[in-house]
Structure 1
Amino acid sequence: MHNFLDFEKPIAELEGKIEELRHLTGNDEVNIADEVSRLQDKLTKLLQSTYGKLTPWQKTQVARHPDRPHFTDYIANLFDDFTPLAGDRQFGEDAAIIGGLGRLQGRTVMVIGHEKGRDTETRVKHNFGSARPEGYRKAIRLMRMAERFNIPVVTLVDTAGAFPGADAEARGQSEAIARSIEACLDIKVPLISVIIGEGGSGGAIALAVANTVLMLENSIYSVISPEGCASILWRSGDEAKTAAEALRLTAQDLQQLGVIDDIVAEPLGGAQRNAKEACKRVGDAIIKALESMDGVEGGLLKARRRDKFLEMGRKGLN
């Protein structure tokens, strides 16, 4: 059973009718099958029309959908022999960021990413994907380890932002994020980043300063959440829809602005409707990006990455 968003009400009603018909039995099974097929075609067209014209606020809702595949789903569906590596070697372990070694279509990679959790227990365990300083310091440790052994790094970004608590600030949150960005810019191995859900503020960019930055079609990436922006500019969260429009946070906007490199198409109706297919598409896109860097010397990879982000700054000043 799907969790439906507000704008998906007509889709939910149509799916409900299809399910009712599928459970009917009797002498008229042929006609029932024909009606189910007709409604299924109607559902496909409705999904195409609905998801073909999503507003930025609706895309924000889809990016946060509870059934959308999370980091652990990508690990289960894409990476063989995943071995998690824990701790920052300074303070402790942060479950909001998971990292470790695995094989993607035969290639050994260091994969690092945010995990939000699926239910109350796991959301609390992973702090809703909002990392503390030790999470970013763990990411730095794993990136440096990958560089030492000449292993590509893949990051999967899905966070509303870094944790804003007093304990995180006391342990150097801003410094840890800055050091993580520095490590992303400095390592001499391929670095691929994919925004799989929410890419929120410094908590996201700490893992996303990559040679190739990809976004899933209905993910978002922004300096602040629409609600946070609305509360600052209008002193009201009610203006979140307006803020979402102004922030240019969709994958399509960001590709046009040159902030990301490519968009990964989602299955019809969003990644939440077919998690395995969404994971497969992300995996294929990562492999394509890695293949484009095969044989490129480490110093050149680093130089290209730094130049790419410096150029964004230059464009912003003009």
Structure 2
Amino acid sequence: MKKLIALIMISIMIISCKEEETLRQEKTDELAVLKGEEANMLRFGSIDELKMFVSERQESETDLLDEAKEMSEAGKYNSLLMIYNLEAYEAEKLGINEKELPVVDSNDDMLLLLLNQKGEVAVENKIFRINGEFVYAYTEGFSAYIDEFLASYNGGKIKMEKGETFNYNKELTVYRHNNEVERESEARGVTSYQYFNNNYRMKAKQYNGYWLFYSSIGAKTKVEQRKKFLWWSWWKTVKTDNRLEYELSYKVESTFGFPTITLNASGHKYCYCNEANKTYDWSVGFPAAPNIYTPLKGETRHWAHWYSANPNTVSVTLVY
């Protein structure tokens, strides 16, 4: 009888431990969202949390724009991915002023999902902000140093080359990124627009970039609709049948000094979605991501369908 009671007690303790571990894991999973609600940005207590957040979405091939809209509707935070796809009246309802938005020249939706409307995300004890040609890593409460740095930089007191990191002080580090400005091309380049008509177009994009805490390389296909209001017009992503095929080699440079390697990627993505997107490779790190990705040779093939248009299918091949 005593042995039976002892076994029951041990079983209860094991179950309790497992429940406590599960609860602790659930709290960990919610950590970024809960803190995000408090500060209107995603906050990751460790680089492992950030890796898990990105990895889960890359592996499940989540429709990131849909997730961005859901996060905003739930009152969690407004990501740049969602904001960059808003119509004028939608932005006005959310109190978003276009003139106050940061400039993040990236077509990587994962990066834009991570950033809030100030271009910020918190990782461990730093907040990363992207705006224009710089990535800032600052200690919370010390964002005023960014204006100090810019005043010195614009005044010629501080000089930085592209790809250079500058430690302004112990509370602020600045990285001047070396990511290419978007180019348009019919046959070769990183971006191409193919028009169904004046109101619908396919955007084919190859992207790669290094943003200090995050880096990636990939390609995507999507369709945009021209929206008009008075004398303003803009393009908004719409769902349709998108296709992407890719085959390439790319270089991986280590920021830690490891030898450079060459890798290959090939495959396809077909979907009825906001975009057919494939990130071939990515890395995150604190205080800096470990890898820089550069395409070497290959191509991406893009198709999209808008069935009410004539012709209702467009395509393009982009050569690296």
Q: Which has the larger radius of gyration?
A: 2
Interval containing the TM-score (normalised by the shorter chain): under 0.3
Greater RCO (CA < 8 Å, at least 6 residues apart): 1
Compare the two structures and name the one with the higher strand fraction.
2
Structure 2 length-normalised TM: 0.25
